[in-house]
Structure 1
Amino acid sequence: MRKLSLPKIFLAAAIIAISGCSSSPDEEEVVVNNRSAQSLYEDAKEKMAIGNFNAATATLSALDSRYPFGPLSNQVQLDLIYAYYKSGKVNEAISTIDRFTRLNPNHADVDYAIYMRGLTNMESDKNLFQELVGIDRSDRDPSKSREAFEDFRRLIEKYPDSKYAADAQKRMLHIKSRLAKYEIAIARFYMRREAYVAAANRGRYVLEYYPDTDHVQEALEIMVECYDQLKLDDLKNNVMKTLKLNYPDSSFIS
Structure 2
Amino acid sequence: MKNTARALLVSLLLAGVGAAVSGCQADKDIDITKLAVDTDPPEALYNQGLANIKAGNLGEAGKKFDAINREQPFSDWARKALVMSTFVKYRQGNYDDAVESGNAYLKQYPTSDDAAYVQYLVGSSYSKQITDVTQDQRAAQQTIVAMQKVVNDYPKSEYVSDAQAKIRFARDQLAGKEMQIGRYYLERKNYLPAISRFRIVVEQYPTTNQVEEALARLVEAYYAMGIVEEAQTAAAVLGHNYPDSQWYADSYKLLKSGGTEPRENSGSWIARAGKKLLLGT
Give the TM-score band, short-chain normalised. Answer: 0.7 to 0.9
Which residue in 1 is equivalent to 2:170? Answer: 175
**Deviation digits for residues 18-51 of structure 1 (CA, Å, limit 9, x no counterpart):** xxxxxxxxxxxxx745422223222211221122
Task: Give unmatched runs, 5+ long, in structure 2.
Answer: 1-35, 254-281
Which residue in 1 is equivalent to 2:251? Answer: 252
Equivalent in 48, 62, 67 of residue 43 of structure 1: 48
Residue type at the aligned position of 2:88 = A
The 2-side partners of 1:176 and 1:71 are apart by 38
**Deviation digits for residues 49-77 of structure 1 (CA, Å, limit 9, x no counterpart):** 12222232223212211121233111101
Residue type at the aligned position of 2:62 = T
Which residue in 1 is equivalent to 2:26? Answer: none
More displaced, 104-113 or 76-85? 104-113
Residue type at the aligned position of 2:42 = A
The 2-side partners of 1:38 and 1:173 are apart by 40
Q: TM-score, normalised by structure 1?
A: 0.79
1:1-254 equivalent positions in 2, closer than 5 A: 32-126=37-131, 137-248=132-243, 249=245, 250=248, 251-254=250-253
The 2-side partners of 1:188 and 1:59 are apart by 51
The 2-side partners of 1:200 and 1:238 are apart by 14
Q: TM-score, normalised by structure 2?
A: 0.71
Does structure 1 conserve the Cα–Cα contact (< 8 Å) formed by 2:38 and 2:67?
no
- Which stretches of structure 1, 4 residues or more, deviate above 3 A after TM superposition? 31-34
Identity of aligned residues (%): 24
**Deviation digits for residues 179-235 of structure 1 (CA, Å, limit 9, x no counterpart):** 222211111122223221111111111111111122111000111111122222221
The 1-side partners of 2:83 and 2:39 are apart by 24
Higher CA-based Rg: 1
- SS of the residue corresponding to residue 160 of structure 1 reads coil
- SS of the residue corresponding to residue 72 of structure 1 reads helix
The 2-side partners of 1:34 and 1:108 are apart by 28
The 1-side partners of 2:144 and 2:38 are apart by 41
- SS of the residue corresponding to residue 252 of structure 2 reads coil
**Deviation digits for residues 130-183 of structure 1 (CA, Å, limit 9, x no counterpart):** xxxxxxx32211111110111111121122122211221122122222222221
The 1-side partners of 2:109 and 2:222 are apart by 53
The 1-side partners of 2:192 and 2:155 are apart by 40
Give the length in aligned residue pairs.
214
RMSD between aligned alpha carbons?
Answer: 1.7
Residue type at the aligned position of 1:111 = A
